[in-house]
Chains A and B, each alone.
Chain A
């Protein structure tokens, strides 16, 4: 039985990633060519740190998109005789046309580690940005009025935010992400509250801007309401009549917990920014013009707070990725079979001293993605401060 040498493994992996390299090359060369017209994104290429971060993040984004073309084997199927095999081992009795090797070896259930790592990126890159976006919607919708209005509203909301922040994250996860809690409906109630915020956000956004043009307003608000409530019914209550929007109960549980943990921090940042920006002249000018408070908050303050918020968005996706990994590490992941990075690390660590190749690929994958996001955020911060 022949197996690949280290160099052959590296070469094979590089070849497997071909679609990603092509996509990366196209995106980067186009971006650099049109650099001057792309605003903050274009300026990113002036900072070395930001460029490296962007490349790392794009690498994983493209990997998630082209995952089906990159994987060498099915991430869930087991091939007998491949249990805990070293990287580069030839598959025994490989079927005609199937890939001949386990590039990064087999795990303790004889599945291909390389393919599992690739498929794992998909789950992370869908859940982490989505959960972060939801947390931002909640944080912005509550933080803007708290910072702009101040007073009782601010006091109460800040008390609530501090309450959640004082809660040890890990304890909250252990309490919220258990199979028992699902049957009590607590995640659904939480989802019912948290998922409402994006709908409210967009309705208020369009209403405050276009209320003087009823025709336009009706179109925008109507579309938002139809789409938003449709998605809302499906995601929160699993009651979508057309079954387009649907979330596994376990996934919903995790998603809601992650949004819940992240929202108060976003709230605090937005509140601080709103308090700072509301003293500016252009806010006073808008008030003199007779604009309503929501218009000022959403169309004057929010656009001017975008720099720090974009930077925090990047950092927060990274943090959410770490949180998802933590959940997986404690066996609270999406589903026991799924190739989730955190869970794979947890499974691999039990055999770590004998078979170190089980845990390292997902660990390095998670690290490089978060590193990319952090570097990207740093580059963005550097460039947005220059403006």
Chain B
């Protein structure tokens, strides 16, 4: 078991390194750096000035060296200005160059500064992740039980009217991406012209206080799209279990149908959906970005959009670290959990 986890963690680390390097490469392409120089310095900089701006900040070093700096395995760049002062990434304003640390990368816990928000990246990401955490929590609370109920009800009698109805419903939800259902929900429930005006179309106020009125629509929108897939997986798994020998035995013994479903079938039928639910997390990220944009809820997805559209390199890198980390950890958990839940599978 431990060898398996160790090996998976190794692969995970390698994947994380590769992916962050790809993001690093894409955000540090020359046109992006040029844009950064112009937005940070002066819009009317000449090419020579841009070159100079990038040079004095260490942006013209080889890519691998700078990636190492960002990681914290290569001493960070320093530059002696004309007036004899030493400047560099590790030297914070007001700090003397001689006492500043040599390394300041992710490994040292320094994620850098955001060039748009003028704040420490770790602070921004931490705060926004907290807000998104609430959204995800409520989405999970709504989505998972509903999906499982639909899946179990549909799968327990395969081919029945109930099954057909619920299956069509789950197909319909998977065909409705967040930006469609969100728009429809806002028109139906929040529009001031024709709607029912039950909920608010904006969740900006939910950042300070979550209420039923301002948080229902984003949660509903996200849960709606993700639900269908889990429900379909649960249905398939349930339908398969219901044809198993031991279920037939139980029926022949005279166990009542509700009892069979609840006590005999359910536990085995829920193994497959567990994996699916864990693997849904990375999918939810796209949903988070859309829903937070749509409902003006300034969480992690909103920061990602801001960082990407302003080419805020260090913020974008940290966002991708978080995103990649979430994906890889959920993959690991789903693998380990699957083995724990399913005694038939033993590790090689």
Contact = CB atoms under 8 A, between A and B. Distances in A.
Interface string A164-186: 00111111001110001101101
Contacts of B327: 166-168
B15 A175 contact: no
B282 A168 contact: yes
A32 interface: no
Interface in B2-46: 11, 15, 18-19, 22-23, 26-27, 29-32, 35
Contact of B31 (A184, A353, A354): A184
A166 B17 CA distance: 12
B247 interface: no
B201 A175 contact: no
B191 A166 contact: no
Contacts of A378: 167, 171
Contacts of A171: 23, 304, 308, 319-320, 323
A325 interface: yes
B175 interface: yes
B174 A175 contact: no
Interface in A358-386: 359-360, 363-364, 366-367, 370-371, 373-375, 378
Contact of B183 (A186, A363, A371, A375): A363
A162 B11 CA distance: 10
Given A168-B327, A348-B183, A356 B194 contact: yes
B341 interface: no
A330 interface: yes
B23 A359 contact: no
Contacts of A367: 175-176, 180
Given A181-B29, A322-B177, A367-B176, A349 B183 contact: yes
A184 B179 contact: no
Contacts of A176: 26
A342 interface: yes
Contacts of B11: 159
A176 to B, nearest CB: 7
B211 interface: no
B184 A353 contact: no
B290 interface: yes
Interface residues on B, range: 35 or more
A319 B176 CA distance: 10
Given A330-B305, A354-B192, A367-B176, A168 B286 contact: yes
A110 interface: no
Interface in A234-262: none
Nearest to A53: B171
A21 interface: no
A180 B35 contact: yes
B324 interface: yes
A95 interface: no
B336 interface: no
B308 A174 contact: yes
Given A166-B19, A171-B320, A348-B183, A329 B290 contact: yes
Interface string A138-172: 00000000000000000000010011001111110
A348 B184 CA distance: 12
Nearest to B192: A353
Contacts of B30: 184
Interface in B118-164: 164
B190 interface: yes
A352 interface: yes
A371 B304 CA distance: 30
A326 B286 contact: yes
A345 B180 contact: yes
Contacts of B275: none
Contacts of A166: 15, 19, 282, 324, 327-328, 331
Given A174-B304, A342-B179, A354-B192, A168 B290 contact: no
A59 to B, nearest CB: 15
Nearest to B309: A174
Nearest to B30: A184
A184 B319 CA distance: 23
B175 A318 contact: yes
Contact of A374 (B22, B171, B182, B190): B171
Contacts of B167: 378
A318 B290 CA distance: 18
B294 interface: yes
A183 B31 contact: yes
Interface in A174-207: 174-176, 180-181, 183-184, 186
A125 interface: no
A186 B309 CA distance: 18
Contacts of B265: none
Contact of A325 (B174, B177, B289): B177
Contact of B187 (A168, A181, A186, A360): A360
B49 interface: no
A236 to B, nearest CB: 19
A181 B31 contact: yes
B320 A353 contact: no
Interface of B: 11, 15, 18-19, 22-23, 26-27, 29-32, 35, 164, 167-168, 171-172, 174-177, 179-180, 182-184, 186-187, 190-195, 201, 282, 285-286, 289-290, 293-294, 304-305, 308-309, 311, 319-320, 323-324, 327-328, 331
Given A166-B324, A184-B30, 7 more contacts: A159-B11, A167-B327, A170-B286, A174-B304, A326-B179, A360-B187, A367-B176
27 contacts: A163-B15, A166-B19, A166-B331, A167-B19, A167-B324, A168-B282, A170-B285, A171-B304, A175-B26, A180-B29, A180-B32, A318-B175, A325-B177, A325-B179, A325-B180, A326-B290, A345-B179, A345-B183, A349-B182, A352-B201, A353-B190, A354-B192, A364-B180, A370-B175, A371-B172, A371-B175, A374-B175
The 5 tightest CB contacts between A and B, nearest first, are A174-B308, A371-B175, A180-B31, A370-B175, A356-B187
